[in-house]
């Protein structure tokens, strides 16, 4: 079969219009590369993470005992068929106020994955968690210091039971900056003179098959443990955030990446379609001649599809190559700043392949094909006459003669190019939404940190914890002793300390099941500046905003793992933006939750409480702990936001360049004619460039409120639903100026290109192809 000689012009056309094809190509490669890199990275990491359970023999759960388990106790516990392993640790302060959890290297359970260097073999050596090391600038060979000893870092590890660095499972967020883990030799572990935390991991003989089985097995095992030892903490694997959080979190961004990819693909497909339409317009008489000579519509459609198709295919290939190599690592590094994940093999990801090759090709093909079929379905004669409108000529819009001639001319240019400007608007809107997110997110986090610091109920809130052993229903004598010891131990003489009741419940019937802390406050509290009477219910502003609740609304909560539901009718909103909380009168709260008249579970204090044993303090809520979430978000999002800002500038530039180029090319003959008539280049710029400038400025301005609305909506309905707590989206006014500036700088650069183009349009153009 003879191949069409038209194919010979495809590469020449790409070469002749390299600016257009190259910009589209670069944007496609960037989009496809980023998406492919992300999908491959996530796919590989999730697979690596999933396999790590088997590979590194991750525990089925752990518990902490008051004292080291004796051999006889171990024997009793292991009669269940489960095996227990000591995983003792010591939390030690090291340089720069960081805490390092020291542990002897594990050989049986929760094995360490060596990422770099070696495991410690002698006293004074340590292998530390790679994420903590990265976030704090530690490299192999550096030293870390405890109060008494110095350790040389000999390796970087990823501990399978600390993929997210939660120092305490009750924390709302891990902290990979201030908290790290490290493995040392037994001798090194021994030389640190503090008592270890006696934590034991357990493994079932065979893994539970369902979540229900897992829960039941854990509950059964808890009973056995409580019968044999005094425990302070009991955490089955499915509740262990240090193990499960990373796995739950990875891949959550997929929906956003998908959405971004498809919107960008659609925009690029429309840009391609518009540029192809423009080519058809320019080549109308050639097309007319070819059609008159007998070329079929499909032959021409195929021909005009070839260049975009080719560019898309090459972009898919290059994008995927970059995605599987460089960009995969970029994406992985983003995750590695947050999570400490083991080695993973790069896996071919079928879905990623389909979405980053087939999808772009299909989208480009379908949209270009539809546009081409429509464009080329007019008769050859119309092409020859350069009359490409399918509809009958509409009456031109009447413009008032009172308008200046130049104004009317510009309006005509704008009216002529409405489809281009619509695509530009959609593109600018997307870019602005991303840019606003990129600029707003760090500001939101910083603002949140400031709010928290200004908004503290007290400098410190001590939440007391009842030892886990008391919850057992056997060994009553032990428990009684422990309880009495607890009640004595949690009394404080610290000046200004004020007891409160706190009870953790979860939302019921809300969009997202979320923990809510209910405070029982004394009526004359010095920390809560609102006298709360018996029966009154105040919610924090964060709670009100998060659940869109107002005074008079009923907020429903339930106890964890229980079915009892509590309805609270809101009587007031307390200005507290840092946490989702409910404030009740303490007496009322103790009654509602049947906690006992004298019950209290924590202290507000502006000074440190030193006379309560640490083991009775479940957590301390202070500025540092409250800003943990935002600190971690800053680390996780930092690089991503920068990438987003660059990406949006590129999108601004590419879209403005391509669409402005089309407008100038479409009007090349008219521009040429105005030159012949004696208009100066400056006047021509005023007619053509200024028309687009006006549209760009108007569209940018229009994008501001729409982007704000969409970002607010996304933040409220997406991030807020996914995250615990409430993080209000904050946009300082300078962000709008910066967005405008970025858009206009991109446009200014584009304008220079277009001004040069106008200068180079020859006067002879107007004399060509005139019927």
The smaller minimum CB distance to another protein, of residues 193 and 763, is found at: 763
User: Which range in 180-188, 243-251, 376-384, 711-719 contacts another protein by CB under 8 A?
Assistant: 376-384
Sites for another protein among residues 384-413 (CB under 8 A): 384
How far is the C-alpha of 622 from the C-alpha of 464, rounded, in Å?
Answer: 14
- Which residue in the set 259, 366, 373, 381 belongs to the binding site for another protein (CB under 8 A)? 381
User: Which range in 259-267, 280-288, 465-473, 644-652 contacts another protein by CB under 8 A?
Assistant: 280-288
How far is the C-alpha of 552 from the C-alpha of 712, rounded, in Å?
Answer: 25
CB of 415 vs another protein, minimal distance in Å: 25
Q: Which of 63, 58, 48, 239 is nearest to 160 (CA)?
A: 58
The smaller minimum CB distance to another protein, of residues 292 and 749, is found at: 292
* Using rule CB under 8 A, residue 379 touches another protein: yes
Q: Which of 593, 602, 600 is nearest to 559 (CA)?
A: 593
* Using rule CB under 8 A, residue 597 touches another protein: no
Sites for another protein among residues 742-771 (CB under 8 A): 769, 771
User: Which range in 11-19, 208-216, 499-507, 590-598 contacts another protein by CB under 8 A?
Assistant: 11-19
CB of 397 vs another protein, minimal distance in Å: 21
CB of 377 vs another protein, minimal distance in Å: 9
CB 307 within 8 A of CB 124: no
Which helix (H) or strand (E) segment holds residue 183: the answer is strand 179-184
State the Cα torsion 693-697-700-702 to the nearest 10°. Answer: -130
Query: Residues touching another protein: how many (CB under 8 A)?
Result: 28
Q: What is the DSSP string of 239-269?
A: G-HHHHHHHHHTTTTHHHHHHHHHHHHHHHH
CB of 366 vs another protein, minimal distance in Å: 23
CB 337 within 8 A of CB 51: no
Task: Catalogue the E-assigned strands of 508-658.
Answer: 515-521, 537-540, 554-559, 565-569, 572-574, 581-585, 602-605, 617-621
CB 457 within 8 A of CB 498: no
How far is the C-alpha of 124 from the C-alpha of 93, rounded, in Å?
Answer: 16
User: Which range in 282-290, 347-355, 495-503, 541-549 contacts another protein by CB under 8 A?
Assistant: 282-290
Q: Which of 496, 493, 540 is nearest to 518 (CA)?
A: 540
CB of 16 vs another protein, minimal distance in Å: 6
Residue 724 is encoded by which pair of tokens?
């615990």
Sites for another protein among residues 684-703 (CB under 8 A): none
Sign (positive/negative) of CA torsion 183, 187, 188, 192? positive
* Using rule CB under 8 A, residue 380 touches another protein: yes
Mark residues 551-570: x for contact with another protein by CB under 8 A, - for none: --------------------
Sites for another protein among residues 16-35 (CB under 8 A): 16
* Using rule CB under 8 A, residue 9 touches another protein: yes
The smaller minimum CB distance to another protein, of residues 285 and 712, is found at: 285
CB of 14 vs another protein, minimal distance in Å: 10
The smaller minimum CB distance to another protein, of residues 379 and 526, is found at: 379
Helix axes 284-293, 297-324, angle to 10 degrees: 120
User: Which range in 9-17, 117-125, 562-570, 643-651 contacts another protein by CB under 8 A?
Assistant: 9-17
Sites for another protein among residues 294-323 (CB under 8 A): 294-297
- Which residue in the set 114, 119, 178, 286 belongs to the binding site for another protein (CB under 8 A)? 286
The smaller minimum CB distance to another protein, of residues 623 and 673, is found at: 673
* Using rule CB under 8 A, residue 1 touches another protein: no
Burial class (CB in 10 A: 0-12, 13-18, 19+), 142: middle
How far is the C-alpha of 303 from the C-alpha of 225, rounded, in Å?
Answer: 75
The smaller minimum CB distance to another protein, of residues 6 and 463, is found at: 6
User: Which range in 176-184, 292-300, 448-456, 633-641 contacts another protein by CB under 8 A?
Assistant: 292-300
The smaller minimum CB distance to another protein, of residues 100 and 290, is found at: 290
How far is the C-alpha of 229 from the C-alpha of 478, rounded, in Å?
Answer: 10
Q: Which of 248, 253, 258, 276 is nearest to 364 (CA)?
A: 276
CB of 759 vs another protein, minimal distance in Å: 19
Task: Catalogue the E-assigned strands of 185-254.
Answer: 198-203, 231-236
CB of 371 vs another protein, minimal distance in Å: 20
The smaller minimum CB distance to another protein, of residues 524 and 771, is found at: 771
CB of 253 vs another protein, minimal distance in Å: 44
- Which residue in the set 154, 156, 273, 290 belongs to the binding site for another protein (CB under 8 A)? 290
CB of 298 vs another protein, minimal distance in Å: 10
CB of 387 vs another protein, minimal distance in Å: 12
* Using rule CB under 8 A, residue 238 touches another protein: no
Q: What is the DSSP string of 312-367?
A: HHHHHHHHHHHHHTHHHHHHHHHHHTT-----------HHHHIIIIIHHHHHHHHH
The smaller minimum CB distance to another protein, of residues 16 and 190, is found at: 16
CB 14 within 8 A of CB 318: no
Q: What are phi and psi of 761, to 5 degrees?
A: -70, 120
The 3-state DSSP composition of the chain as helix, strand, coil percent (nearest 5) reads: 55, 15, 30
Q: Which of 152, 531, 129 is nearest to 339 (CA)?
A: 129
The smaller minimum CB distance to another protein, of residues 271 and 300, is found at: 300
* Using rule CB under 8 A, residue 419 touches another protein: no
User: Which range in 12-20, 23-31, 159-167, 216-224 contacts another protein by CB under 8 A?
Assistant: 12-20
Residues that bind another protein (CB under 8 A): 2, 4-6, 8-9, 12-13, 16, 283, 285-286, 288-297, 379-381, 384, 769, 771
């Amino acid at each position: 079969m003879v191949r069409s000689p038209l194919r010979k012009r495809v590469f020449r056309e790409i070469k002749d219009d390299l600016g257009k094809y190259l910009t589209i190509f670069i944007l496609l490669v960037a989009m496809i590369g980023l998406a492919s890199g992300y999908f491959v990275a996530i796919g590989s990491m999730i697979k690596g993470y999933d396999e790590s359970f088997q590979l590194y023999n991750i525990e089925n759960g752990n518990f902490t005992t008051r004292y080291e388990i004796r051999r006889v106790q171990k024997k009793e516990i292991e009669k269940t068929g489960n095996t227990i392993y000591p995983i003792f640790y010591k939390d030690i302060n090291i340089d720069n106020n960081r805490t390092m959890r020291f542990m002897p290297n594990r050989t049986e359970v929760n094995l360490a994955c060596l990422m770099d260097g070696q495991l410690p073999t002698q006293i004074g050596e340590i292998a530390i968690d790679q994420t903590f090391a990265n976030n704090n600038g530690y490299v192999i060979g550096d030293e870390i210091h405890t109060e008494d000893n110095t350790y040389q870092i000999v390796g970087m590890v990823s501990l399978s039971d600390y993929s997210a660095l939660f120092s305490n499972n009750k924390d709302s967020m891990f902290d990979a900056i201030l908290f790290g883990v490290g493995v040392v030799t037994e001798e090194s572990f021994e030389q640190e003179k503090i008592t270890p935390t006696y934590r034991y991991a357990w493994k079932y003989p065979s893994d539970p098959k369902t979540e229900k089985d897992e829960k039941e097995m854990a509950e059964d095992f808890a009973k056995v443990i409580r019968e044999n030892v005094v425990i302070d903490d009991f955490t089955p694997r499915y509740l262990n955030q240090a193990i499960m959080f990373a796995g739950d979190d990875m891949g959550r961004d997929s929906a956003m990446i998908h959405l971004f990819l498809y919107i960008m693909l659609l925009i690029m497909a429309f840009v391609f379609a518009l540029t192809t339409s423009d080519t058809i317009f320019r080549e109308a008489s050639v097309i007319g001649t070819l059609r008159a000579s007998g070329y079929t519509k499909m032959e021409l459609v195929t021909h005009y599809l070839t260049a975009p198709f080719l560019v898309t295919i090459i972009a898919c290939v290059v994008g995927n190559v970059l995605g599987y190599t460089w960009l995969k690592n970029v994406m992985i590094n983003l995750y590695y700043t947050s999570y400490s994940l083991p080695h993973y093999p790069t896996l071919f990801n079928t879905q990623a392949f389909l979405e980053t090759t087939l999808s772009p090709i299909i989208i480009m093909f379908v949209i270009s094909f539809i546009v081409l079929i429509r464009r080329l379905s007019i008769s050859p004669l119309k092409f020859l006459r350069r009359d490409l409108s399918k509809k009958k000529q509409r009456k031109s819009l009447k413009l008032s003669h009172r308008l200046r001639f130049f104004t009317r001319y510009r309006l005509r240019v704008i009216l002529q190019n409405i489809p281009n400007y619509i695509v530009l608007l959609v593109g600018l809107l997307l870019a602005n939404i991303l840019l606003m997110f990129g600029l707003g997110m760090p500001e939101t986090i910083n603002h949140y940190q400031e709010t928290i610091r200004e908004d503290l109920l007290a400098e410190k809130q001590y939440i007391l914890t009842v030892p886990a052993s008391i919850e057992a229903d056997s060994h009553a004598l032990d428990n009684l002793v422990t309880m009495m010891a607890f009640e004595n131990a949690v009394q404080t003489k610290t000046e200004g300390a004020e007891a409160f009741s706190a009870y953790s419940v979860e939302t019921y019937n809300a969009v997202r099941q979320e923990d809510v802390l209910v405070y029982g406050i004394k009526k004359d509290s010095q920390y809560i500046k609102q006298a709360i009477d018996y029966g009154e219910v105040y919610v924090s502003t964060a709670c009100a905003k998060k659940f869109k609740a107002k005074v008079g609304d009923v907020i429903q909560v339930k106890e964890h793992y229980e079915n009892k539901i509590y309805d609270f009718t809101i009587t007031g909103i307390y200005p507290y933006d840092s946490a989702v909380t409910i404030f009740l009168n303490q007496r009322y709260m103790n009654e509602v939750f049947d906690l006992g008249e004298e019950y209290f579970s924590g202290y507000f204090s502006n000074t440190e409480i030193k006379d309560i044993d640490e083991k009775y303090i479940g957590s301390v809520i202070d500025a540092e702990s409250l800003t943990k979430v935002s600190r971690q978000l800053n680390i996780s999002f930092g690089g991503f936001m920068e990438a987003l800002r660059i990406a949006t500038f590129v999108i601004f530039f590419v879209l403005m360049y391509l669409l402005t180029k089309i407008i100038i090319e479409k009007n090349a003959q008219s521009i040429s004619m105005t030159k012949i008539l004696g208009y100066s280049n400056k006047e021509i710029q005023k007619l053509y460039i200024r028309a687009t400038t006006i549209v760009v400025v108007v569209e940018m301005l229009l994008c501001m409120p729409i982007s704000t609305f969409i970002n607010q909506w996304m933040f409220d309905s997406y991030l807020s639903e996914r995250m615990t707590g409430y993080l209000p989206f904050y946009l300082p006014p300078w962000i709008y100026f910066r967005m405008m500036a970025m858009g206009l700088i991109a446009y200014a650069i584009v304008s220079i290109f277009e001004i040069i183009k106008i200068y180079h349009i020859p006067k002879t153009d107007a004399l060509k192809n005139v019927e």
